[in-house]
Amino acid sequence: MNSHDGRKILERFWAAIHANDFRAAGELLHDEYVLVWPQSGESIRGRANWVAVNEHYPAAGPWRVTVHRIIADEAGVATDVTVTDGAVAGRALTFSELRDGKIVRQTEYWPDSFAPAPWRSQWVERAT
């Protein structure tokens, strides 16, 4: 996959999240998708679990995403975004690996470490 294609996939991904259309964002995820959150030590494995976490997240309002920067090459895509629900804003750095035109793995760094939230335990596992 070339860097232009990878960049377009991540632009579509963040636009879907900005629209709060988590199922559309999920369609951009590979069948073997894994998301790792190093700060909480959690991984989300699979499209269905990713969609469920986002649909059940206790947000104060709709998510809004500001994309600050996207860097893409043949190995993957790095994004720098701010995500807010109107009450809390966080800046995330996300490193995405792509396979077969889909996002297969993401490692996402949020500004502060945080404990795993009990409400999402049915959809996540401890990251290794």
pLDDT tens digits for range 57-101: 999 999 999 999 999 998 899 999 999 999 999 999 999 999 999
pLDDT digits (tens, 9 = 90+) for 3-34: 889 999 999 999 999 999 999 999 999 999 99
pTM of the model: 0.88
Beta strands 29-37; 102-109: pairing state: parallel
Instruction: Write out the H or E segment, with its range, that includes residue 8.
Output: helix 3-18
> What DSSP string describes 49-66?
HHHHHHHH---SS--EEE
